[in-house]
Amino acid sequence: MTSTARPAAVLLLALIGCAGDPPTGLGPSATGAGPMVVWDPERKPEPEVPFPNDSATVLDPASLTGRRLNLSVTSPLHVERHLRERLNRLDGFSLFGMITVSFNAPLDLSTVTDESVLLIDVSPDSPEFGQRQALDLDRGAYPAAFRPRKVFPFDPDSELPDLVFPLDNTVGDTRVEHWEVATNTLMIRPLRPLRPKTRYAVVLTRAVKGLNGDPVRSPFVAVNAAAQTDALKPAVAAVNGGAAAISFAWVFTTQSLSENLVALREGLDGKGVFGWLKEKYPGRIASVTNLGLEKAKIEPDDTRPKNPFILNPDFLKVLLSPFSATGYALDKVKFDHIDYFVYGTMEMPDLRSAEGGLWPNRATGEIEHKAASVPFTLSVPRTTDKHKPPFPVVLYSHGARTSRFELTLIANELAEQGLAALGIDAVGHGPFGGDIEAIVESQAKDYPPELVALVLGAVAQIVLGDGYDYNGKETSEIFDDLGPVGLWQTIFVDGRSEDLDGDGFLLSGDGYFVPDAFALSGNSQQTLIDTMMVLRTLQRLDPGAVPKAVKDPETADVETLMPNLLAGDFNADGVLDVGGPDATFVAAGTSLGGIHTSVLMAVEPQLKAGVPIVSGGGMTDILVRTTLASAVEPVLTEAIGPAIIGCPDADRDAEAPISLSWNNLANGCDDPDRVARAEVGRAPSVPGGTVTLENPRLVDSALPEATDTAVISPEGGFFVAVAADQGDPLVMTFRDTDGKQVGDTITLNALHDGMARKRNTWRMRRLLQVAQIGLDRGDPIAWARHLIREPLAGMAPRNILHITDTGDRTVPFSSMVAWDRAAGLHGLTDDQALPVTDAFIERDALAQPGTWDIDDLFETGVGLGRLPVISTASGVSAVRHAPVDDHEFIALSDPKAEFDWGTYFRNILARYLASGGTVLEEAICLEDGSCGAAAPE
């Protein structure tokens, strides 16, 4: 066993001294009977030391911090070992994760204050050296409770308002979120993300006391581990009372952040150790889609496409009109200022490793790579006296589980300002909705086959012409008829989705929202690289290389048109349509796309301005609070599963056998067809009895998740989960209310790896704390300081406008506020920013978001008023708030609303982007367009 693989206890023997030795730390431990800090690196099933902690690292001169993590990798579970092995490749801890310290007895929480618990920058080369960091110690900036939520069917804790704390996590009559009662653990949260590659000291002063009134005590003879004394010395000056006031202290180091992504970005430009990327992947339009509308019913005739590869927006509006029957008002979308849409693919380098994540070797310039074909959608504005090609481009990033088609909904306001918009499918996303045939089949209860056939038939008749008769045809036959049509293919078939959960349905986003923290972060970073590659592909289009105009492009053959198309002249008039070396590029994105845009703005210097919409930061905070179950369930499958669900008989016949399936593949047990499709076995119905699931391989381990027992519901349903590696035989036993076994023991092989952490337990909390370390490099909050306050080398403060909605539950408003605070949009200093946070907390806007007009647009006095804009080197940055509770409000107009917030903010973002972020127009007349069309010069 090498020294880097030894358990932390072995390493610490030489570090902390013997009990009889004189103190070798900052000072002697407090006397008395106060709660003692728990420092037990040999505890099972996992070590218990204050965390994060440099005692869980080893020295590594080759790393940017001089350290590497050294977490225990002795778990009998492959999934846990694999996570920790990759964590041990990192050079520090999370910039934003929770900080915890446990005690052997409860604290008097009234003694936990901003003066008694300190976080201090102790890196001599840091601009904040010696400074205290603002903390949330029951301030309420990061509420966990939100609303009752169910993870899987028959979840016994489905009425709890969060995934982290048990119902009885109370002190007195108050349910608390900064103290874990079961483990006597204090949870500390920085109010802004910490600096990368920086060492911090956590200091507990003697003002922190137990219920008996005595100060907390160190587990050592000194107030710190001896090996950390030198690192802790700079903290003493920031402690009122100096070293004598300290009860306990430790240090940890944050990980590097930007170096990998910056090096890869430079590689796309042919620079640095990854400069070979430009030659290998020069950036080109790989294909343009022939829409196949030769037979389409196009009226009036002047709306016919100018060639088979571009789509007239008026025709698209006609095509979308049948979908209004399903409740989606797509026929209300306006396209007045759009000349045409184009669909195609671009060639990208996929730099993700086979095991998940991005692992560039900056010393050698090596990284795993393969070519990927990424679909795009492009909207091109109408040419006017003011706006002419080649047009500037908005790089638009779509939301979770949608696709590039989403940009269609906001493209018109952008086009009015002379902006083209290009969107690609993010990793694991697209086509629109996913496998539309499977979706239609799975949602037959909501969309009856007759309605689906009617809508599809109407679409097919438009696309295939009046000669097409869909009467009497099955839905599957209509799908087959539409299959060869290029437009149908590009919107509803082509994409990047993968069926990673094995449920047989190809849903947009399934390949992105994965349970592996590094793979999830890697998917985010890969999407950023894709978007940077789009910028370079468009930038490398050469106006001088565009072929001459094609005569009569509507009737020209493909061979004649293709040179123009691939050169960026999509209407074949001999002029480059978008981009070019002198083009302006800006960015925008909604929801997940806003998250991508937030990071992109921090790392891509060629973007003039950016507008993230309903974005946020703190990925684990978002995951445990979001109501977007379709994104959360796949991510949590390894954390909470593998779970076996018992689905009762559809008629709730208590005597009928129970259908067994994995996780939520049976879709809540509500759809008999899905239940039958997911079924892996049957079991006796034992209402009121118990079911026990056991992994025999782990029974003798220290893992409490080796066995699980659940009480069966009155209708016969249940949920049980145990820790397992894929393929482990799991044994299931049923007992009646008298404890007598019912039926034979059932054995099922585990569908996938999983840790089976019980929700609302310390084990789940600890897993989330560790997972955040692996998520940092794709988390907008970690990058936020590099937008305005501290831009990366060679970059100026960014012009960025964040559009939020105060009632959001998909990206919780608290996570939006956390990112705004981190980015400096509430003010560049704590004195400016923290009062804004406190005002939100006082209004209960973070714990229970509602439709509060924070900006007080109508000057009624109900809100705070618009927060001041932040001046940058080239423009302004700001955050603005829509008082709505609709996560998708930006996409569609609401003509019935008293005020159309969607149209209002679409016009704001379009004008802001058109100005390059130099001017923020906010006149109320933008809601109805009466301000006039022109953005500021």
For residues 412 and 418, give the distance between their C-alpha atoms in angstroms, rounded to a whole number. Answer: 10
712-745 as b/e, with b when 16 or more CB fall inside 10 Å? bbebbbbbbbbbbbeebebbbbbbeeeeeeeeee
For residues 659 and 675, give the distance between their C-alpha atoms in angstroms, rounded to a whole number. Answer: 7
Residue 437: per-residue pLDDT: 63
Q: Quote the pTM value.
A: 0.93
- For the record, the structure tokens of 79 come out as 């999934």
For residue 52, whether the previous peptide bond is cis, meaning omega lies within 30 degrees of 0, is yes
CA distances from 275 to 364, 366, 703 (A): 11, 11, 47
Residue whose C-alpha is closest to residue 347's, from 374, 369, 370, 367: 374
Contact call for residues 117 and 178 (beta carbons, < 8 A): no
User: Going by C-beta distance under 8 Å and a sequence separation of 6 or more, which residues neighbour residue 480?
Assistant: none
For residues 327 and 484, give the distance between their C-alpha atoms in angstroms, rounded to a whole number. Answer: 27
Residue 303: per-residue pLDDT: 63
For residue 642, whether the previous peptide bond is cis, meaning omega lies within 30 degrees of 0, is yes
Residue whose C-alpha is closest to residue 190's, from 830, 735, 922: 830
Residue 4: per-residue pLDDT: 38
Give the 3-state secondary structure percentages of the chain, helix then strand then coil, rounded to 5.
30, 20, 50
Amino acid identity, residue 751?
Answer: L
> How is the chain split into domains, by residue range?
3-142+177-256, 609-618+779-927, 629-765
For residues 511 and 499, give the distance between their C-alpha atoms in angstroms, rounded to a whole number. Answer: 7
Q: What are phi and psi of 639, to 5 degrees?
A: -75, -45
Over 251-314, what HEC string results? EEEECCCCHHHHHHHHHHCCCCCCCHHHHHCCCCEEEECCCCCCCCCCCCHHHCCCCCCEECHH
Q: For 234-255, what is each residue's pLDDT tens digit?
A: 999 999 999 999 999 999 999 9
Residue 35: per-residue pLDDT: 98
Match domain 3-142+177-256 to its CATH number in 2.60.40.1220, 3.20.20.120, 3.40.50.2300, 2.60.120.380: 2.60.40.1220
Amino acid identity, residue 718?
Answer: F
Residue 504 burial by CB count (10 A; 0-12/13-18/19+): exposed, middle or buried? middle
Q: For 432-456, what is each residue's pLDDT tens digit?
A: 655 566 666 655 555 566 777 777 8
371-401 as b/e, with b when 16 or more CB fall inside 10 Å? ebebbbbbbbbebeeebebbbbbbbbbbbbb
For residues 594 and 878, give the distance between their C-alpha atoms in angstroms, rounded to a whole number. Answer: 15
Neighbouring-strand partners of residue 336: none
Residue 672: per-residue pLDDT: 87
pLDDT lower than 70: segments of the chain: 1-23, 299-304, 324-331, 432-449, 501-505, 652, 895, 933-937
Residue 100: per-residue pLDDT: 98
